[in-house]
Amino acid sequence: MPELTVELQLNTLPGSPGVYQFFDKDGKMLYVGKAKNLKKRVTSYFTKTHENGKTRVMVKKIRNIKHIVVPTESDALLLENNLIKKYQPRYNVLLKDDKSYPWICIKNERFPRIFPTRKLIKDGSEYFGPYT
């Protein structure tokens, strides 16, 4: 199946809430973002002049766009957060550090403590979240 052009992908985006992913020519994920309206948000990357040089460079590299439609904006926020943590896209600098949304931690101890945290430590503890 031939790859769709970015222009065709933009034309077929829905006006629903969701998460979008930008990929380069090698299929490497560049960026994950959330939107109240996928069509408006993603199209804005290609119709506006970006003052931020990093954004301009990223837009030039985009060769494929994937999207996931979700029921609400809140769901989009959580999905975006989880995808960024999982894939660590190069252009997502703000949410890579696990400090964005709170999690519930159950410590791996003889008498487990339960508490909210914004920092995930890989010490065998269980984490639930993130929560908005």
The amino acid sitting at 63 is: R
Q: Which ranges of 28-128 would DSSP assign to H, the alpha helix?
A: 38-47, 53-61, 73-87
State the DSSP H helix or E strand holding residue 6, giving kind and residue range, or none if neither.
helix 6-11
pLDDT reported for residue 129: 83
Average pLDDT, the chain: 88
> Predicted confidence band at 96 (pLDDT cuts at 50, 70, 90)?
low
CATH, range 6-87? 3.40.1440.10
Give the pLDDT mean for 44-59: 88
pLDDT reported for residue 1: 43
Inform me whether the pLDDT recorded for 130 exceeds 90: no
pLDDT reported for residue 3: 57
Instruction: Delimit the CATH 3.40.1440.10 region(s) of the chain.
Output: 6-87
Over its C-alpha atoms, the chain yields an Rg (Å, rounded) of: 17
Q: The pTM is what?
A: 0.73
pLDDT above 70 covers a percentage of the chain that reads 92
Give the pLDDT mean for 118-128: 89
Inform me whether the pLDDT recorded for 99 exceeds 60: no
3-state DSSP percent of the chain in helix, strand and coil, to 5? 30, 25, 45
Coil, strand or helix at 35: strand
Give the pLDDT mean for 95-106: 72
Give the pLDDT mean for 99-126: 88
